[in-house]
Chains A and B, each alone.
Chain A
Amino acid sequence: MITAIDFGCDAIRSAFRSMENRRQISLFSERAQYTVLPNTHTHLQALADNHISYATCEDSLVVFGNQAASVRWLSKTPSAPLFTDGSVPREDAPARQILSILTRALLPAVDTVGYCFYTGPGGTAEDDNKEFLSRLIRMHGWIPIQGSPGNAVILASGSENRFTGISVIVGAESTRIAIARFGQELSSETLNVGSNWIDNELASQHEMKTWAPSGDCYLDLEAVRDWKHDPSVNLRSAGNERERTLGRLYDVVLGRIARSIREQLGSMAVDSVLAGERLSVACAGGAALINGFIPALTDRLVEHDIAGRITTLRVVEDAETCVVRGLMIQGELEQLTATRAA
């Protein structure tokens, strides 16, 4: 059996073919965050009445997953990410345990040998994440096989381009740029900047803060995200100072993406097999869903003088779930090959 799981800093998603019907994919998605509540009888009663799963740890209650956002108002404290700065937290034991609980809930029960293709947060802590997450998957009975998110996007959305092209995944904590040819990744680079950096900068510059009853001050990132994905917000038509700031921040990230693409196109690994060939760019990730993303990236590509190497520039249809679907494709292709070889 093949399953795929994408440990994202914003959400953890898993996908596998339905047990009852192979022509259907079961997709699970849980937010990679938790909310801390006071451990009082009132809060416990509220959680129990609403059938919200929670965890107790020392003197507080923790609600994790998709329900974390819905109970945030109970404490007026922002949710905490399970992956701190794009890595498995070393000083947050409950977060690591929550990761285990979510992994068990997202993976199906396996009775025979099953392979789980996974990806974790990239960046500088990628090796540590790989070690932790692979053990986590193995602990739940699956054989972990790490996949490349860039290659997964190419497999999920590059069939019309013969699985050849450039994939850009703008994640929460990191951005992955990869160039693949015929489904094989030739080159990739991970930038330690993502949409969370944009949200933090925007909240800092515009004093978007929230205070807990205890007096602690937090950046109101949830308000930034809610505003950012408003349909009226567009990167190319800023109406106010906040939108202009958002556009400038995106330009910084997109500029680095364009520079990375240019460097990779000029690298030996890519230039030796794709010299002069025009490629298509597939963008994925939640940050790519903002209005005006493609025109902004086009400007940056023109600015870096690589627009001539690009044929098409698009945001994939399922920008948030294409990584896990691509991992599933990769797994099934491997299984198909193994079946033939046997």
Chain B
Amino acid sequence: MERLTRLFLFACLCLSTSSVNAQQITQDSYLLAGDVQTPEVRPYPTGTQMTVQRLLMDARQAGVQGTATVLRGQPLTVAATELCPPASTSSAALLPGDIVIFRALQGWNGPQNVVRVSSSSVDVHNLTRPVTAGQLSTGDESPAFVFRSEFGRSTQLSVAPGDIIQHGDVVILGRPTALTTPLAAGPASAGGLDVRPASSPVTIEGSNFLTIPGMAAAPGEVQSVSAPTEPSSTGTPFDVSPFDTVPPAIAADEPPAPTVTAEETDAQIASLTEPEPAEQGTANAESLWNGLFVLGIVLALGLITIGWVKTQQEQRLEQEAAARMKDGLSAGHPQIDTQPAMSDIDSVTVPGIVDGPSLADATTTDAPASNTEFELSAFIPQSVEASNQVSPPHDAQVDEDCPVLSAGIEPSQPGEEADNRQVTGGDTKIEPKAIASVEVDTLENPPSSSLAAQTAGAQLVAPTEWFGEDWRKPIVEEPEETAADRIVEDGSPIADTSSPIAEELPTSAVAAAAEVANVAESRPATDMVPAVEDDIDDTEIEVLRQRQAAPPAEVLASFPQPEVPGYSEPQPVSQERQDVEDLIENRIPVNLQQASLPLSVSLYGKPSGPKRLRIDAAHTEIAPPHMMSRSRRGRRPAQSVKSASTTAPVTKPTDSSETAGLDKALNYIDEQLDK
């Protein structure tokens, strides 16, 4: 039932009119739309060549992988499709008046937009909700077809007024009359489609695309080959016929026109045999699709109503059956007469759940009860205090269907609420949705909401008096959450008075939390104020009123923040993170400095120095030349030769060749000396 209610609300939202933000393109500008944060018309720079890459860089989309489709000229054609980032440095050049549609490959979660091209202007619309083609009509022009770019492939699709326009589409508007007149007039009509027999090639010169009068040609040339004159009985509006996908057309200033083969023209010729005028057919198509759309909405509303009524009846029957059973049991067991009667049961709300408005109220109130569960994450920190104070009795369980069950139940009396508003502890278990409901109701809608706690006797049936325990939902024993587990993403700690951490909290914090819970409880119904004022003095009432007047955030900010072990407030890491990012991107200036070395220092040891290429072994004694040793032995005493190597302590055995060479050298010296 809850889903049906949401569906109904969604349908209502869809039916409601919405405004779109439009920007208009001029002759000296170009337009960027699609998967960009700010689709906008940009002035074409003078004196410089604008390219697709530069355009994307200006739009901060240069690093995003995707495809950019450039639509240009009259009729509007796909001038270029470029992969981003490009494989090479070259990029397609842009001309004034171009329409660039950028589509990211990784999907897009940003704002959505469409481009509407009419006979007088080209503008971009930011989509805030699904829009049909008919809603983009202006004056006597209605959407004729759209350019749809996906994964680098641009297709031209004919659209009906009921078709949903998708994000990134380029909607071409045109007059229906201009569509069929040239076709009905026969081949070679002015700017029309040249229809020829199937055996002959057909040219599509300037026929498939809309000319943009604001940028060039006459509005009478608005045509679409694929636009059906009447809705096909076999296809849906989203079906793409062979003619829907039009090959990239030729700009009007380009003389050659592509030809269409005979196979491609078969379907076209077949459709042209229909004698019905296209204008009437288009009108019929619009009315038919509008009728189907309205019929669908009515059908959905009917289903919602039937479902709601059925649920109400079933609930009523269940309650009556429960009441009869209870009466029968109480007759046989007088000791359980303390159970409230059925009328009393109706007046007791389910613990932890706000009295849900009726379905009719749910459609009109700003914050229906069924929507409160979506606010859970946002209000968890604030809701704890209230949940700790408004604790249901032992074993109280909150069902997800409770808002529905309590929809038709009378609200409890103020006196009962005052009596029931007791701070109870123990093994109370509240599901998160219940907490959220309490929180949202007390903090978001204080004037209209009423919060009631349930006493132990408010259960429909005692746990032991039914036939079995099967009808009860099993109580899931969830492990106790620690304070660290309850730290939500926004960094706000959740106080839990039942945890040991909460026991260590300062009493002021607990008292303040209790005070806020009382404030939240005492806010809703004005008739409850006297009951509260009976227990507190005027000063406290004034404090409570001030707290009521203050926004919830300020009230919560005034509490002393408990210190949770193992948790610290988020540090200002944004600056540090930015510094690291700058370091990664090499954006931080590097100051190359000279190290301050000591001017003079003493080192131990002897440096080995660089590697020597050749080390001559030190000769301790050199033998005289052989001939000298034979003839003039003893003439020259053997002398030691100091090697050039001073750092090679290890002597190596001399090579025979080296010795021979050295002997020759010495012999030569001796000979010179003798001379």
The distance in angstroms between the C-alpha atoms of A97 and B591, with both chains bound, is 27
Within residues 580 to 612 of chain B, which ones have a CB less than 8 A from any CB in chain A? 580, 582-586, 588-612
Contacts of A65 in B (CB 8 A): 595, 597
Contacts of B608 in A (CB 8 A): 80, 84, 89, 91-92, 95
CB nearest neighbor in A for B611: A218
Contact assessment for B588 and A101 in the assembled complex, using a CB-CB cutoff below 8 Å:
no
Contact assessment for B597 and A101 in the assembled complex, using a CB-CB cutoff below 8 Å:
yes
A290 at the interface (CB under 8 A from B): no
B614 at the interface (CB under 8 A from A): yes
The one of B586, B593, B609, B611 that contacts A26, using a Cβ cutoff of 8 Å: B593
B384–chain A nearest beta-carbon distance, Å: 25
B280 at the interface (CB under 8 A from A): no
A21–chain B nearest beta-carbon distance, Å: 9
Output the residue of A216, A217, A219, A321 with the most chain B CB within 10 A: A216
Contact assessment for A51 and B583 in the assembled complex, using a CB-CB cutoff below 8 Å:
no
A190 at the interface (CB under 8 A from B): no
Contact assessment for A105 and B597 in the assembled complex, using a CB-CB cutoff below 8 Å:
yes
The distance in angstroms between the C-alpha atoms of A100 and B644, with both chains bound, is 32
The distance in angstroms between the C-alpha atoms of A79 and B576, with both chains bound, is 42
The 0/1 profile, CB within 8 Å of A marked 1, for residues 502-543 of chain B is 000000000000000000000000000000000000000000
Contact assessment for A23 and B602 in the assembled complex, using a CB-CB cutoff below 8 Å:
no
CB nearest neighbor in A for B570: A340
A53 at the interface (CB under 8 A from B): yes
Contacts of A156 in B (CB 8 A): 584, 586
Contact assessment for B613 and A155 in the assembled complex, using a CB-CB cutoff below 8 Å:
no
Contact assessment for B584 and A329 in the assembled complex, using a CB-CB cutoff below 8 Å:
yes
B138 at the interface (CB under 8 A from A): no
Interface size on A, residues (CB 8 A): 69
Contact assessment for B579 and A80 in the assembled complex, using a CB-CB cutoff below 8 Å:
no
Query: Which of A55-63, A111-119, A266-274 contacts its partner?
Result: A55-63
A317 at the interface (CB under 8 A from B): yes
Contact assessment for A97 and B603 in the assembled complex, using a CB-CB cutoff below 8 Å:
yes
B16 at the interface (CB under 8 A from A): no
The one of A27, A34, A81 that contacts B592, using a Cβ cutoff of 8 Å: A27
Query: Which of A132-140, A294-302, A331-339 contacts its partner?
Result: A331-339
The one of A57, A325, A335 that contacts B604, using a Cβ cutoff of 8 Å: A57
CB nearest neighbor in B for A18: B591
The distance in angstroms between the C-alpha atoms of A25 and B592, with both chains bound, is 8
Output the residue of B583, B584, B599, B603 with the most chain A CB within 10 A: B603
Contacts of A342 in B (CB 8 A): 568
CB nearest neighbor in A for B63: A160
The distance in angstroms between the C-alpha atoms of A65 and B601, with both chains bound, is 14
Instruction: Using known A-B contacts A159-B584, A329-B580, determine if residue A28 contacts B595 with beta carbons closer than 8 Å.
Output: yes
Instruction: Using known A-B contacts A79-B610, A101-B597, determine if residue A318 contacts B586 with beta carbons closer than 8 Å.
Output: yes
Given contacts A53-B601, A93-B605, A340-B571, 5 further A-B contacts (CB under 8 A): A25-B583, A57-B605, A64-B597, A214-B646, A321-B590
A-B contact pairs, 9 of them (CB 8 A): A27-B593, A28-B595, A30-B595, A53-B599, A55-B602, A56-B601, A57-B602, A102-B597, A106-B595
Interface residues of B (CB under 8 A from A): 63, 568, 571, 573, 576-577, 579-580, 582-586, 588-616, 644-646
Interface residues of A (CB under 8 A from B): 15, 17-18, 22-30, 34, 36, 51, 53-60, 62, 64-66, 77-81, 84, 89, 91-95, 97-98, 101-102, 105-106, 155-156, 159-160, 209, 214-219, 317-318, 321, 325, 328-329, 332-333, 335-336, 339-340, 342
